[in-house]
Amino acid sequence: MTKFEELGLKEEVLKGIRDLGFTEAFAIQEAVIPVLLTGRDVVGQAHTGSGKTAAFALSMLQEIQPKKGIQGLIMAPTRELAMQISDEIKKFGKYTGIKVATVYGGQGMGLQLDALDRGVEIVVATPGRLIDHLKRGSIELRDITHIVLDEADTMLDMGFIDDIQFILDLAPEDRVMSLFSATMPTEILRLSEEYLNNPKQFLLDADDLSGEGIDQAYLVIKDRDKFKYLIDFIKPTKGQCIVFCSTKYRTRDVAKFLHQEKFDAVAIEGDMSQHRREQSMSKFRSGKADILVATDVASRGIDVPRVELVVNYDVPNQEMAYFHRIGRTARAGAKGKAITFVSYSSVGDWNIIKRQIKVPLKDLNQEMGIEISIPDPLKRQMPSRRYGGQSRGGYSRGGGRSGGYGRSDRSRNPRDDRGSRKRYNDKDNRNSYGGRSRW
Ligand code: ADP
Ligand code: MG
């Protein structure tokens, strides 16, 4: 491993990193920073939690000059991720005199205009609100020297691509641009050629989507039994936990049930007011809440180091979403666990995802002796039990009986669990991170 001092970063930047306790550069940082510093475009792929933010932020902070207009632009798919990136850059840039503004929907324009009026050099934005600012002239891109698309595969997906195109057309041609994500499907890599100038590609573990350091398991159960098992898995967990649901409705519902069971849970989904979204995230980040119940709005980029367990309460609708969801644990080389609840109607969807998981996957039905009484027409889709024998413990049920959920109100709406399967570029995914999203 290389020390940050060896990457050619200036003292003001190094001081910020030292304050955070970073000593050695992570692999993607070591690879990417020197190349970005030479002014070459970059495509950076490395697994979730591997330090991609610092990889693009540090080289930006090195080059950008205080008081010379907006020179850096970072775009991200969700408000929460944009805020997180800003916060991290502020920490890295503490001694550089560089100011950062975050621009995202759901927050009044006033606050953002005030921040911009004070003069900033870096803007972190979600595309929709950035366009609003561009149209009213409160942000201009003529001095931009550095552009980053974080979660680039999402940003270049159909929901955002027109917005991104509009924004990039307003920025100078002569700029350093980079794309980052844990997942870089080949069609996105091809597309990136159109936006980047002879980029150097760093695909650090493109063939291994498996989720390094994450102990993965699944359980096939009836939809109405999910809550009972959720409680069993959450109870013995010491760290924090994220529970991903397929819809906003189920997210609210699961959070409500957890409250009734006296868990400190908060929820985040796209229909909540921005104020409540921020309240939930800040409670979860500060550790005041142990559990975050979320739609896929929280599946990308969110970094909360204490997350020990990810529960997919519902099988995700996209293959990639699975790897991003579970990647909310095992951050920065830590270890974590992920459990996927597979309702009978989702067995087919789960099998598609399962084929891409290259590490041993624990079959909890076998381990816990839970029988699958699947209706006949669905039996064909049953998951194989190839890894069932490799029990390592650690997923055992906490023993706490939840009680009272047998009647589960959720059975009112079992259909919700299914979600129609989305292809990565499905038109229906338009605006999937935006204000009017499914999430
Ligand atoms: P990614 O974008 O690849 O998912 P992040 O940039 O969110 O990952 O980083 C994951 C975590 O690792 C963050 O908490 C970050 O502060 C931490 N981190 C990043 N680089 C280093 C480093 N060189 N040393 C120690 N911790 C780091
Ligand atoms: Mg990231």
Q: Is the residue at 95 inside a domain? A: yes
Q: Quick check: 400 pLDDT over 70?
A: no
Distance CA 431, CA 157 (A): 10
Q: What is the pLDDT of residue 373?
A: 80
User: Is residue 25 located within the same domain as residue 55?
Assistant: yes
Mean pLDDT, the chain, whole residue set: 87
Note down the domain range covering 45: 4-202
| Ligand 1 atom with least separation from CA of 180 | 2
Q: Quick check: 426 pLDDT over 70?
A: no
DSSP state of 184: -
Residues written for the chain? 439
CATH assignment at residue 335: 3.40.50.300
**What is the pTM assigned to this prediction?**
0.88
Q: Quick check: 398 pLDDT over 70?
A: no
Q: What is the pLDDT of residue 414?
A: 34
Task: Write down which residue in 176, 202, 228 finishes a domain.
Answer: 202
Q: How far is the CA of 352 from the centre of ligand 1 (A)?
A: 30
User: Is residue 183 located within the same domain as residue 261?
Assistant: no
Q: Is the residue at 129 inside a domain? A: yes
Q: Quick check: 403 pLDDT over 80?
A: no
* Helical residues (DSSP H) of 42-107, grouped into ranges: 52-63, 79-92
Q: What is the pLDDT of residue 378?
A: 61
Q: What is the pLDDT of residue 376?
A: 64
Distance CA 229, CA 226 (A): 5
Per-residue model confidence as pLDDT tens digits over 361-381: 999 999 999 988 876 666 666
Q: Count CB-CB contacts under 10 A for residue 310.
A: 26
The whole-number average pLDDT for the span 5-11 is 95
Per-residue model confidence as pLDDT tens digits over 161-183: 999 999 999 999 999 999 999 99
27 alpha carbon, closest ligand: 1
What is the H or E stretch that residue 24 is in?
strand 24-25
Q: What is the pLDDT of residue 428?
A: 29
Residues with Cβ within 8 Å of 171's Cβ and at least 6 positions away in sequence, in order, are 73, 141, 144, 147
Can you read off the two tokens belonging to residue 313? Answer: 């309460």
Q: Is the residue at 388 inside a domain? A: no
Task: Write down which residue in 362, 379, 396 finishes a domain.
Answer: 379
Pocket probe mutation, ligand 1, options 4, 23, 24, 26, max atoms within 8 Å of Cβ: 26
Please answer whether residues 341 and 368 qualify as being in contact, where contact means their C-beta atoms are separated by less than 8 angstroms.
no
Q: Is the residue at 438 inside a domain? A: no
Q: How far is the CA of 263 from the centre of ligand 1 (A)?
A: 29
User: Is residue 161 located within the same domain as residue 269?
Assistant: no
Residue nearest to atom 24 of ligand 1 (CA): 22
Residue 222: half-sphere exposure toward Cβ, Cα within 13 Å: 13
User: Is residue 258 located within the same domain as residue 363?
Assistant: yes
Q: How far is the CA of 367 from the centre of ligand 1 (A)?
A: 34
Per-residue model confidence as pLDDT tens digits over 32-81: 999 999 999 999 999 999 999 999 999 999 999 999 999 999 999 999 99
| Ligand 1 atom with least separation from CA of 28 | 3
Distance CA 378, CA 182 (A): 33
Ion ligand 2, residue ranges at CB < 5 A: 52, 301
Distance CA 405, CA 249 (A): 18
Task: Write down which residue in 379, 399, 417 finishes a domain.
Answer: 379
Q: Is the residue at 250 inside a domain? A: yes
User: Is residue 138 located within the same domain as residue 250?
Assistant: no
User: Is residue 158 located within the same domain as residue 226?
Assistant: no
* Helical residues (DSSP H) of 212-294, grouped into ranges: 226-234, 248-260, 274-285
| Tally of domains within the chain | 2
User: Is residue 101 located within the same domain as residue 17?
Assistant: yes
Distance CA 99, CA 123 (A): 9
| Ligand 1 atom with least separation from CA of 305 | 14
Q: Is the residue at 48 inside a domain? A: yes
User: Is residue 164 located within the same domain as residue 15?
Assistant: yes
Distance CA 298, CA 244 (A): 8
Per-residue model confidence as pLDDT tens digits over 192-248: 988 999 999 999 987 667 677 899 999 999 999 999 999 999 999 999 999 999 999
Residues with Cβ within 8 Å of 119's Cβ and at least 6 positions away in sequence, in order, are 67, 99
User: Is residue 252 located within the same domain as residue 298?
Assistant: yes
Q: Which residues line ligand 1 (CB under 6 A)?
A: 22, 24-26, 29, 46, 48-54, 301, 303, 305, 331-332
Q: Is the residue at 405 inside a domain? A: no
| Ligand 1 atom with least separation from CA of 46 | 3
CA distances from 407 to 25, 132, 265, 312 (A): 52, 47, 22, 22
Ordered DSSP codes for 247-265:
SHHHHHHHHHHHHHTT--E
As a dihedral over the C-alpha atoms of residue 201, residue 206, residue 207, residue 208, rounded to 10 degrees, the angle is 150
Q: How far is the CA of 45 from the centre of ligand 2 (A)?
A: 10
Please answer whether residues 422 and 428 qualify as being in contact, where contact means their C-beta atoms are separated by less than 8 angstroms.
yes
User: Is residue 183 located within the same domain as residue 237?
Assistant: no
Q: How far is the CA of 302 from the centre of ligand 2 (A)?
A: 7
Q: Is the dihedral of CA 250, 426, 326, 49 positive or negative?
A: negative
Q: Is the residue at 184 inside a domain? A: yes
Q: How far is the CA of 49 from the centre of ligand 1 (A)?
A: 6
Q: How confident is the model at residue 1 (pLDDT cuts 50, 70, 90)?
A: confident
User: Is residue 250 located within the same domain as residue 157?
Assistant: no
User: Is residue 318 located within the same domain as residue 288?
Assistant: yes
